[in-house]
Structure 1
């Protein structure tokens, strides 16, 4: 299946949807609702049967009234109102039972649809946490959100509406057909001829509209991706005066969505007028033929009324099926996108947590990390890490430096198993990390990244994210160690202050301090600091460095830094260039070598002097 990209790319249409495959997968999800579905079918059939018998009984009342009038005119008697009242009372009871069954059926169908969409949302939410990082690298966020929200909502609405319609419609068609044949086979043949013509037209329209519904869902996902991307980068858009270009790109995609949506809704809207027109032709034919047969005394006058009602009841389910068919097209398109997401390749787990194992890794003797001839590339055949080897003892402070694109952050991603190495291996405490469950491995690490991430909620909740069972006192102590406590107390509400969705009601530096406090609270054995102090001022940086120095005592630490002045006290400095370690040693040793590190350091020193 072809993909569609985000802003600036030319729309690439997806191939024709696998309708039968998507519906088979969707049908499998109904397996847990077998009992409810059986009751839905029973109530649908019961409701239909009671509803179908009604016109036949009403026809008897009409016949009784007609014959009474004829007798009264002929002077042979009058209208038997008591008998008519009995007939109508029975009819009222039948319609009441039919309505009650329809009501119960609607409740059951709604329950099934909502439970299934609840299950799909839950599975999609769980799936997100099992997907590899490269999926999010290549997939627009808005596209993923569209599948979880728009596609699931479309599926829910169409199931809720079309499922009960189809069941009732099929039962109605069969029941009405039997009743029509019992009145007049000839009139039934005429009516069916008209209806067959209608079905041919409907099948042509549905076949034409299917691809437009698939296109509509695809373009909707793309435009959601654009909106999410533009909203998230609004500051950059305004800073570079790109509002006009962004609007042009949006208009382009919006116009494409408009065209596909217009075509799908146009064909959908065509079916009802066509069916009504053809249905009216059927009424005319039935009335003319029925009048002729009544004159010939082949049928009763009341039978004409009953038959017209049956024709109406017969055409209505056909119209419902036609309408449901358009919904099913949308259902299939949404279902395929949902199942495509659920069937994405997941992270392979080469080990599992031992039952009864400790939730926290053992502290003693941990922290040794070894890279043995590691190689890696995000794209197959394009390596960016070549034969990387180094041994790090427990408790060492290791700095990784080098120019942009040297592979510094990539090494951290490999260490955390966000990606698996393509060659060699990484050992933590002598054990290959691919033989460790990711959950167990990541419990050993604490991370502070250059890009801060805080969720909407209280400041205390954000800091406590590092240790969910931490007390307020522990949170406050971590905040003090990260030099965040003082300014938090000055905020309205203090630790109970609510951060907004973008956490932009505090400064970037304050956000960074909170993430550092979160890492301190987690108290891990191995720390990863990726430009952790890049967003704070010089004075705060000095304070954080002191706090980090105390925190890193006895713990293995990986520090990625561009400002080399911040890592002069590192036990080991790894100098990377083009995916390889070109130099290693402490600050003094590397300066004495007068190599690549010395050049980097001197260039920064001269820049600071300038």
Structure 2
């Protein structure tokens, strides 16, 4: 048992050391974004020094009036007026430099965070599909929005506090020692106490912020999931159950927030007490010194003003401690994403094979591939399939047969576990992904439409594609008349996912999109599964037009979709068990015939 305890302690210490190292790396990486703005930060520092110096001269001016003029019986109002004018002048100087300092810091801070947010979104968009299988969407939304905003607070609040309040503290100490060395040393006794309190609270505060951020991510993810599935929730009368689950997540987040608030209040009020104790001590000791004529009244006034200001920057810095703790958590989370490398990568420059779209013929070879989302559990144990240029191949099989899975490696959403996939003799792992996705077009069962105009959804916001080309593509697939019946034609604004359109209308727009980008290889993944028979005929006609001259893979649940294909591949348990034309497969009296008879029986019963 002692050995196991020692091993557990050692493992814990090693984990803590690794976590600290990662946090340091994250902090250093995020701070590197500030290098292009070093002159702005230098300007902030200069403005802070000048503005703070002007502020701190004010009590010293009052001390001069009291000790050097009023205390010795001076009655010259011109002298007092001059000091008052200087006091007003330095107040204006303080205001101007503070204004300039804040503007410079906000400009630099907001620019840094905008760059981080841009790089983060760009990095996320390059990650492999396997990453999105593991990470919840709500967490990523929190990273891009909330975590970057927290980092913004670090640059615009925490950094400002460190510069401004740090300089204020240093200059106050200089002024206090200038006024009275003994009283200043008494005031310094409180600094070790402040350090001890900060150290004791540090771990507790960090844990509180980590729990709060984690529960916020969970709550955002739950809300996003429910909004996406609202139709299903209402159809199955799940409103009460989902509300109950939301309340649980909301209550959990509320409890974490309250724990964080209690920690902050206790932390900040502790410093208030320390400040009041220090002020009372200085007034007592200074009062005794004045009573015994060891100190001038003006010095006590100035010292009291400085000791009151002494705790203001400390309190401000400690109040920013919560923001700093939250920032370090956010930095860790964001750096975790930045340090995640895509599993599917572009080839090295010396191994890159570039196929020109205009010269591509569209031959596709699945050379003895094995593929699974986990290497230990292959969904497709073995597949050897070869498509001729311009050939249409239908893929059929029951749910879970591996039909849709086999196209994921062709799009390089994932890489095969073994074997290779080649296009015109080139391994797709040697083709840059951007070029590969121009060669291979994909139409899914649920085509995704963005919030924007019909025109932008067809050309995917690429303004170099002309309006005329978009309209020609829509005419070719039979979508033009449907679009022109809309209120704004091609400028009609669509809601997110095109929720105002029918399934067939969304599908026709996705066909037009394919025509605009002109891929040599076309994949249709259950593209007609959710359509009625009339709409399916329209889409079938569009399919015939789109697939002309292209190598086409049609994954279909309805056999009628692929009956006229050049070849049909029958999948079962991840393997191709039959292959041939519709008539050839029926003549085999095998598994395809069973699927066909089952489909006919289901159609007769409708």
Fold shared by both chains (TM-score > 0.5): yes
Q: Which residue of 1 aligns with 2:324?
A: 328
Tell me if structure 2 keeps the 8 A contact 1:394–1:555: yes
Alignment of 1:144 with 2:140, yes or no, is yes
Alignment of 1:418 with 2:422, yes or no, is no
Alignment of 1:42 with 2:38, yes or no, is no
**1:7-18 matched pairs, under 5 angstroms:** none
Distance 1:126 1:19 in 2: 22
Among candidates 365, 371, 374, match of residue 370 of structure 1: 365
Q: Which residue of 1 aligns with 2:568?
A: 573
Tell me if structure 2 keeps the 8 A contact 1:449–1:532: yes
Tell me if structure 2 keeps the 8 A contact 1:206–1:326: no
Q: Which residue of 1 aligns with 2:425?
A: 430
Provide structure 1 residue ranges, at least 5 long, that are not aligned to the other structure: 1-14, 72-77
Among candidates 241, 250, 261, match of residue 254 of structure 1: 250
The CA deviation at 1:468 is: 5.1
Tell me if structure 2 keeps the 8 A contact 1:142–1:224: yes
The CA deviation at 1:270 is: 2.8
Tell me if structure 2 keeps the 8 A contact 1:367–1:526: yes
The CA deviation at 1:19 is: 4.7
1:177–1:437 CA distance, 2 compared to 1 (3 A): same
Among candidates 331, 341, 344, match of residue 345 of structure 1: 341
Distance 1:242 1:420 in 2: 39
Which of 517-526 and 315-324 deviates more? 517-526
The CA deviation at 1:118 is: 0.5
Q: Which residue of 1 aligns with 2:13?
A: none
Tell me if structure 2 keeps the 8 A contact 1:353–1:437: no
DSSP 3-state at the match of 1:408: coil
Provide structure 2 residue ranges, at least 5 long, that are not aligned to the other structure: 1-17
Q: Which residue of 1 aligns with 2:11?
A: none
The CA deviation at 1:585 is: 1.2
Distance 1:392 1:197 in 2: 77
Q: Which residue of 1 aligns with 2:554?
A: 559
Number of matched pairs: 587
1:63-97 alpha-carbon deviations (Å, 9 max, x no partner)? 245424xx4xxxxxx52322222223223333332
Distance 1:416 1:566 in 2: 22
Tell me if structure 1 keeps the 8 A contact 2:456–2:462: no
Q: Which residue of 2 aligns with 1:75?
A: none
Q: Which residue of 1 aligns with 2:459?
A: 464
Please give the root-mean-square deviation of Cα atoms over the aligned residues, in Å: 2.4
1:29-87 alpha-carbon deviations (Å, 9 max, x no partner)? 2222222222222222222233223322221112245424xx4xxxxxx5232222222
Q: Which residue of 1 aligns with 2:240?
A: 244
**1:512-591 matched pairs, under 5 angstroms:** 512-591=507-586
DSSP 3-state at the match of 2:496: coil
1:528–1:348 CA distance, 2 compared to 1 (3 A): closer
**1:180-191 matched pairs, under 5 angstroms:** 180-191=176-187
Among candidates 303, 311, 317, match of residue 313 of structure 2: 317
The CA deviation at 1:304 is: 0.3
DSSP 3-state at the match of 1:253: helix
1:31–1:150 CA distance, 2 compared to 1 (3 A): same
**1:2-151 matched pairs, under 5 angstroms:** 19-68=23-72, 71=73, 78-151=74-147
Distance 1:264 1:95 in 2: 38
Which of 216-225 and 499-508 deviates more? 499-508
Distance 1:96 1:477 in 2: 66
1:584–1:466 CA distance, 2 compared to 1 (3 A): farther
Tell me if structure 2 keeps the 8 A contact 1:191–1:286: yes
DSSP 3-state at the match of 1:129: helix
The CA deviation at 1:583 is: 1.0
The CA deviation at 1:352 is: 6.3
1:290-312 alpha-carbon deviations (Å, 9 max, x no partner)? 12212333221100000001101
Distance 1:452 1:487 in 2: 17
1:574-600 alpha-carbon deviations (Å, 9 max, x no partner)? 111111111111111111111111111
The CA deviation at 1:25 is: 2.7
TM-score by length of 1: 0.91
The CA deviation at 1:208 is: 2.2
**1:464-503 matched pairs, under 5 angstroms:** 464-465=459-460, 469-503=464-498
1:193–1:467 CA distance, 2 compared to 1 (3 A): closer
The CA deviation at 1:467 is: 7.2
Distance 1:431 1:148 in 2: 37
DSSP 3-state at the match of 2:382: strand
DSSP 3-state at the match of 1:410: coil
Tell me if structure 2 keeps the 8 A contact 1:352–1:436: no
TM-score by length of 2: 0.92
Distance 1:281 1:212 in 2: 29
Among candidates 225, 237, 250, match of residue 221 of structure 2: 225
Q: Which residue of 2 aligns with 1:74?
A: none
